[in-house]
Structure 1
Amino acid sequence: MISDERPRGIALTDAQRLDWLRLIRSQNVGPRTFRDLINHFGSARAALAALPTLAGRGGARRSTQICSIADAEDEIAAVRRLGAVFVAQGEPDYPWRLAQIADAPPLLAVRGRIETLRAPMVAIVGSRNASGAGMKFAEVLARQLSDHGYVIVSGLARGIDTAAHRASLGTATVAVLAGGLSHIYPPENVPLLERLIERGAGITEMPFGWEPRARDFPRRNRLISGLSVGLVVVEAAARSGSLITARLAAEQGREVFAVPGSPLDPRAEGTNQLIKQGAALVTCADDIISVLEPILGSPPPEIAEPAPDEPLDEPAVDERARILQLLGPSPTSLDDLVRLSGSRPAVVRMVILELELAGRLERHGNALISVPTH
Structure 2
Amino acid sequence: MSASAQPQAELSQQEAFARIRLLRSPNVGPVSFRQLMRRFGTAAAALDALPDLAAKGGGKYRAAPRERVEAEIAAVRRAGARYLFHDSADYPALLAEIESAPPVLTVRGDATLAARPCVAMVGARNASAAAMRLARDLAAELAGEGYTIVSGLARGIDGAAHRGAIPATIGVIASGIDITYPPQHVELQEEIAQTGLLLAEQPAGTEPRGSHFPSRNRIIAGLSLGTLVVEAAPKSGSLITARLAGEFGREVMAIPGSPLDARSHGCNQLIREGAVLVQSAADVIELVSGFGGMPRARLRSAPQDLFEAPLTGEPENTEETADIAGLLTTAPVAVDELIRQSGTSPSAVQMALLELELAGRIERHAGGRVSAIMGG
- Corresponding residue SS for 2:310: coil
- Corresponding residue SS for 1:235: coil
One-letter code aligned to 2:142: L
Q: Is the 8 A contact 1:237 1:267 kept in 2?
A: yes
1:183 to 179, 185, 190: 179
Q: Is the 8 A contact 1:10 1:90 kept in 2?
A: no
The within-5 A match list for 1:282-301 is 282-295=278-291
The equivalent of 2:298 in structure 1 is none
Q: Is the 8 A contact 2:231 2:266 kept in 1?
A: yes
Q: Is the 8 A contact 1:10 1:92 kept in 2?
A: no
Q: Work out the CA distance in 1 between the residues paired with 2:209 and 2:186.
A: 17
One-letter code aligned to 1:220: R
Q: 1:365 to 1:94 in 2, by over 3 A?
A: closer
Deviation, 1:315, is 5.3
Q: Work out the CA distance in 2 between the residues paired with 1:127 and 1:267.
A: 7
Deviation, 1:328, is 1.7
One-letter code aligned to 2:349: V
After superposition, give the CA deviation of every residue in 1:78-137 in whole Å (9 maximum; x if it has no partner): 212221110111211111111111111111100112222222211100001111111111
One-letter code aligned to 2:26: Q
Q: Work out the CA distance in 1 between the residues paired with 2:320 and 2:57.
A: 13
Q: 1:295 to 1:336 in 2, by over 3 A?
A: closer
The equivalent of 2:359 in structure 1 is 358
Q: Work out the CA distance in 2 between the residues paired with 1:154 and 1:267.
A: 18
One-letter code aligned to 1:59: G
The equivalent of 1:5 in structure 2 is none
Q: Is the 8 A contact 2:79 2:178 kept in 1?
A: no
The equivalent of 2:36 in structure 1 is 37
The equivalent of 2:170 in structure 1 is 174
For structure 1, the 5+ residue unaligned runs are: 1-8, 297-305
One-letter code aligned to 1:204: A
One-letter code aligned to 1:187: P
Deviation, 1:365, is 3.4
The equivalent of 2:13 in structure 1 is 14
The range that moved more, 329-338 or 157-166, is 329-338
Are 2:234 and 1:238 equivalent residues in the alignment? yes
Q: Work out the CA distance in 1 between the residues paired with 2:320 and 2:45.
A: 25
The equivalent of 1:4 in structure 2 is none
The range that moved more, 306-315 or 189-198, is 306-315
- Corresponding residue SS for 1:369: strand
Q: Is the 8 A contact 1:11 1:91 kept in 2?
A: no
For structure 2, the 5+ residue unaligned runs are: 1-7, 293-305
Deviation, 1:308, is 6.5
One-letter code aligned to 1:336: E
Query: Structure 1-normalised TM-score?
Result: 0.90
Q: 1:186 to 1:152 in 2, by over 3 A?
A: same
Q: Work out the CA distance in 1 between the residues paired with 2:75 and 2:373.
A: 37
One-letter code aligned to 2:43: A
The equivalent of 2:347 in structure 1 is 346
Q: Work out the CA distance in 2 between the residues paired with 1:372 and 1:193.
A: 37
Deviation, 1:192, is 0.6
The equivalent of 1:278 in structure 2 is 274
The equivalent of 1:70 in structure 2 is 67
Q: Is the 8 A contact 1:12 1:91 kept in 2?
A: no
Q: Work out the CA distance in 1 between the residues paired with 2:134 and 2:20.
A: 40
Query: Structure 2-normalised TM-score?
Result: 0.90
Number of aligned residues: 354
Q: Work out the CA distance in 2 between the residues paired with 1:111 and 1:264.
A: 41
After superposition, give the CA deviation of every residue in 1:177-217 in whole Å (9 maximum; x if it has no partner): 10101222112111111112222011011100111111110
The equivalent of 1:303 in structure 2 is none
Q: Work out the CA distance in 1 between the residues paired with 2:74 and 2:148.
A: 29
Q: Work out the CA distance in 1 between the residues paired with 2:209 and 2:226.
A: 26
Note the aligned Cα RMSD (angstroms).
1.8
